[in-house]
């Protein structure tokens, strides 16, 4: 996928003024959002770190017909409270006030049950008829195939009250990343 870095921002005044549709990557801190974006790009564009809280601003990347947005993660208790409040306010503003936002990829660690924050986000997204919600399961290389399939069912079950869009695997993903419901 031909992706280029556009800008990073928090405040709405700094968001890009393009009218292209936007696809945002959301999820807990450390779940693998930036890694997934790099996988889609086929190169290292977004910063990845084993320390949670790496992405502290919204990172906008441009493809030909849309913009991908790497969001700061939530649920990282060790981040300073003031910084957390700032990211969380910016992400809420983005989710609520961005008409260009058309798809929300919710990244979930295959080993963990969806958190309250994950479920809250899925619930919010399911109430917005103009927004498609797509789950992406990460870190599947860290569990066995059986465990992967079992966990996948459990996670999708937990998300079943929300309107998930299921799409077939169409990106050449390595084993470690699952694009919607595929355990290999």
Nearer Cβ to ligand GTP (19/50) = 50
- When asked if residue 53 is in the footprint of ligand GTP (CB under 6 A), the reply is yes
Q: How far, in Å, CA of 169 to CA of 137, rounded?
A: 12
Q: Is 2 helix (H, G, I), strand (E, B) or coil?
A: coil
Residues 24-63 that bind Mg ion (CB under 5 A): 33-34, 54-55
d(CA 22, CA 155): 25
Contact 183, 149 (CB under 8 A): yes
Q: Does 106 bind ligand GTP (CB under 6 A)?
A: no
DSSP code for 140: G
Q: How far apart are CA 106 and CA 103, in angstroms?
A: 10
Among positions 136-175, residues that touch ligand GTP (CB under 6 A) are 138-139, 141-142
Cα 88 vs. chain centroid, distance in angstroms?
14
| 59 lines the binding site for ligand GTP (CB under 6 A) | no
Which listed residue (23, 30, 61, 90) binds ligand GTP by CB under 6 A?
Answer: 30
* Smaller CB separation from ligand GTP, 16 or 52: 52
131 binds, among ligand GTP, Mg ion, none (CB under 5 to 8 A by kind): none
- The torsion angle over the Cα atoms of residues 60, 21, 129 and 122, rounded to 10 degrees, is -20
100, 22 Cβ separation under 8 angstroms: yes
Residue 84 Cβ, how far from ligand GTP at the closest point, in Å? 12
Give the residues lining the site for Mg ion (CB under 5 A).
33-34, 54-55
Binding residues (CB under 6 A) for ligand GTP: these are 27, 29-35, 48-50, 52-55, 72-73, 138-139, 141-142, 176-177
């Amino acid at each position: 996928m031909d992706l280029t870095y556009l800008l990073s921002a928090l405040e709405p005044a700094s968001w890009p003024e393009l009218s292209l549709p936007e696809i945002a990557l959301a999820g807990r801190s450390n779940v693998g959002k930036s890694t997934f974006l790099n996988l889609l790009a086929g190169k290292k564009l977004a910063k990845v770190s084993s320390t949670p809280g790496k992405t502290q601003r919204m990172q906008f990347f441009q493809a030909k017909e849309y913009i991908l947005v790497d969001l700061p993660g939530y649920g990282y208790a060790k981040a300073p409270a003031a910084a957390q409040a700032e990211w969380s306010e910016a992400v809420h503003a983005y989710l609520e006030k961005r008409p260009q936002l058309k798809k929300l990829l919710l990244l979930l660690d295959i080993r963990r049950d969806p958190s309250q924050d994950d479920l809250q986000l899925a619930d919010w997204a399911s109430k917005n008829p103009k927004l498609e919600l797509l789950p992406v399961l990460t870190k599947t290389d860290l569990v066995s195939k059986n465990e992967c399939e079992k966990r996948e069912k459990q996670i999708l079950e937990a998300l079943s009250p929300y309107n998930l869009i299921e799409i077939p695997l169409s990106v050449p993903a390595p084993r470690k990343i699952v694009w919607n419901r595929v355990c290999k």
